Structure 1
Amino acid sequence: MEGFTFDTRAEDLRHVWIPLTFKMSISKSQGLEISSWPEGEELSAAEEEEGASIYDLVVTVPHILDARTGGNLVAHIKVGETYHQRKEGVTHQQWYLFNDFLIEPIDKTEAAQFDVSWKVPGLLYYARRNYHTKYDLRIKNPIDASVLLTEASLARKQRKSHATFIPLMVSEMPQAGDLMGLDAEFVTLNQEEAELRSDGTKSTIKPSQMSVARITCVRGQGANEGVPFIDDYISTQEQVVDYLTQYSGIKPGDLDAKISSKHLTTLKSTYLKLRFLIDTGVRFVGHGLQKDFRVINLLVLKDQVVDTVYLFHLPRKRMISLRFLAWYFLENPHRLQVIG
């Protein structure tokens, strides 16, 4: 990597500067050459002809050291012109800091500079400049529809008579815009760690860790409208500290393949099903889906979600519970006309 080095300050070798931009090319002897490059400067026509490419730093993930908690990861992400043009009507790029509690704009130096005594680089991601103009980067669904068909349960005691859903048939495969009801249940793997400040307020040292334990999807149309086609209990090897049975209905043993009578799957299997549905373009209907998708760690476009938490929410009013909505509309059918 001739001509390409990380910059360390002479007065303190703990400080490391990661290059924001570099050039990569193949030498006449077919060797790989990587060299520093001024940020924002473009290649000449001759350099492009020779196959040279510019790479820009777009993500850094440092590990913030903390002896009390073991530290945590944060992300520095360079958000491009397209987002700011759509949201703010201006064309520019901006670095942002992402962590569990906030998102805020930062200077590029904060993303590229590290002090290894407390801020250690864990991941550096560079993107080839103008790559999208040369190649088709449209997302294609890499997941086959077969993930939604019948699969065996991991549970040894699960029987067909206990099935709580009917898998989709090939003729029922979802299309863009189809409605699907979705519900998710979670268990707690680690309790929240907090401390009280001298003024009586609570400070969160380490947030609780939730894990998805059950995913249910219901048909929104067709001959079997209202019939679940996914009802997966997610097997976990982690120690569950709270099954939240009062809210989730999950009981000890439900997630254990040795004794469970539920349709037990792996997280990967269920994740692929949801990913397929999302990429297909179906619309999910449910209560509190924004939070559910965040915990499951899935990105779903806003126009693919119909969330009754917000559908029936009035400005400056409290959120309405699903129990109340079910009572109001399902036990009082004449009131359904207010939906229209």
Structure 2
Amino acid sequence: MAGGAPVPIPVKEKGPIILCMEDIKEIADKNLPDVARDFFNSGSTYQSTIAENGSAFNKYRLRSRVLVDVANLSTSTTCLDRKIKFPLCISPAGLQGMAHPEGELATSRACAKSGINMAISSFANYPVHEITSAGGGNVNYAMQLYMMKDRALQESIIKAAEDAGCKAIFLTADSPVLGVRYNEWRNDFRTPDGLGFPVLGWTTEKIRGQTHDSGFMAFNDDSHSWAESLPWLRSKTKMQIWIKGVLTAEDTELAIQHGCDGIIVSNHGGRQLDGVPATIDALIECVDAAKGKIPVHVDGGFRRGTDIFIALALGADCVWVGRPAIWGLAYDGQTGVEKMLELLYEDFRRCMALCGCTNVSDIKRSCLSRMGIDGMLRRLD
């Protein structure tokens, strides 16, 4: 430097420097076998929806505020009858054992340490009671289900979830058939040897003898319906019943009519029907249709704390993430998931402070502007 001033010498930490979700994903992608990486990261058909899940946030601008006292800012909210650290939980992503040997157990422990909730996939690689036990009583869980042809098996899964202390059923309603996933077909994807699906009672030998696609179609009930499925579930459990996969006002209204406890605005991570809206774009329609009668949660494409803020400003009560947890596992197991959650928390908290919000309830549409097709920025409220 000029004048003989001291030259700053950066102090480097041991190991990789992790500053954002992209850093975690980069390492995770290197650690995962090609087939596993393709399975976790790809969407359906031409990848349009999975791409828009992330890019759709770019239409919004944050309206920062000044001279607001944020010394006592609180990020906490309530989800599944429990106070959580901030409005984010872990989605029911299957096959976590393919990302890390401890799979859902590591994710469960990370959720407990981070003060958030978790949903368990029907395609989990550990039994429900082991996953909930790993949380040590510090996590509220939801059990993700499909409507199944074998109703006796489905009833046994519900009973196991109740016995394990789960608070809700997340009924995945957007999958009468699987989406077209070219990468799985090209790779002839099959669950790796040694991994079973104990929730479904499937051994590794059974799973390896069929493709992921054919295995799903063999047990999934494509005759599911509002009129039949919801009353049947209500007759079998006292757990909350949420509908996962809602993208329209019409289905939001039907969820209310059928007495559902909440909805998750979701397009299955872009893995079902390619060409449907990004979930952040579908969210407003669903929130407006709900009219505050039921909670509205959302997943799909959330990679930054500011993304969570945008969703809450548009009316969501909570956000769920799936792939980031997989990347955290592939990066460094439980520690990797905790790091991922820490990044999202710190970014969300900072965004709240800079937008002048001292509580989650302060986050409203007036906190956002949206870029119009005419290039003009307009406030939302």
Structure number with bigger Rg: 1
Instruction: Please state which structure has a larger fraction of its residues in helix.
Output: 2
Q: Normalising by structure 1, what TM-score?
A: 0.23
Q: Normalising by structure 2, what TM-score?
A: 0.21
